[in-house]
Amino acid sequence: MCAHLKKELLTARKQVPQEKVLSEVAAILAEHEQRRLAILETLHGGNSDVVNALDFDLLESDRIFSLDNIKKVCIDYRLRFLESGRFKNGFPEEALAEIRKLENQHGTRLAHFKIMAPTKAFKLDNYDDPLLFVPIGNHYFYLVHQWGNDINPWRKWKVLPFRNLGWFTVFCVLLSLALTWMIPLNQLGKQVHMASVIVFLFLFKSVFAVAMYGFFMRGRSFSSSMWNSRFYNQ
């Protein structure tokens, strides 16, 4: 800032009592902190299923998602979509700022926030890449803010076998085929008719049984059934 402009500003400020300036700034900061604490209380609290009154003309279309959209992404990437009160990690200041900005734009107070994040980010009964949503009615949600690193696209393929029973079975079939191909069956094939098929069926039965046992013994569920579950083992 140019020196003469700063001097002009200081001269203009002298026309107002310093105590008044400081009291007004203190009041603004206090109000800001009260809003911040109120937002945090709402995020951590148990909100009722309310519809937030947002001005449709002010909404950004690329931030509006239906529950079906959210469900599909949660299943594909093995994420959960739960109340913000169950989120274990802290909320960054930029998320709180986005909430204040949205509330000021729409002249309302938002409630019933939801978080999309991996299972380990939630407190379940029995800091990753969360996305903060707020409901706007008719099973539609508005994306308020996302923080952290974007979820790796490879996660979608890494968790593909756990999407549902069908994909789990496909994975076991492919693994059994790979194991069958690795086993030398030249001599056995001459002695036993359809030896490769028999070996494949035996391997598939074994792989499927072991995989299912290990999966469920660890209290896991398929993504299609756990994407909005509040329980660790359901």
Q: Using CB atoms within 10 Å of the CB of residue 221, give its burial: 0 to 12 exposed, 13 to 18 middle, 19+ buried.
A: middle
Average pLDDT of the chain, as a whole number: 75
Res. 127 pLDDT band, cuts 50 70 90: very low
Tokens representing 211 are 């995989």
Cα–Cα distance for residue pair 49/46, rounded to 1 Å: 10
Q: Where are the beta strands (DSSP E) in the chain?
A: 64-66, 80-83, 114-117, 131-137, 140-146
Mean pLDDT of 42-69: 76
pLDDT grade for 50, boundaries at 50, 70 and 90: low
Mean pLDDT over 131-150 rounds to 79
Q: Please compute the mean of the pLDDT values over residues 67-73 and round it to a whole number.
A: 86
- Strand duo 80-83 + 64-66: pairing: unpaired
Cα three-residue angle 40-112-78, rounded to 5 degrees: 95
- Per-residue tokens: 49: 């299923």
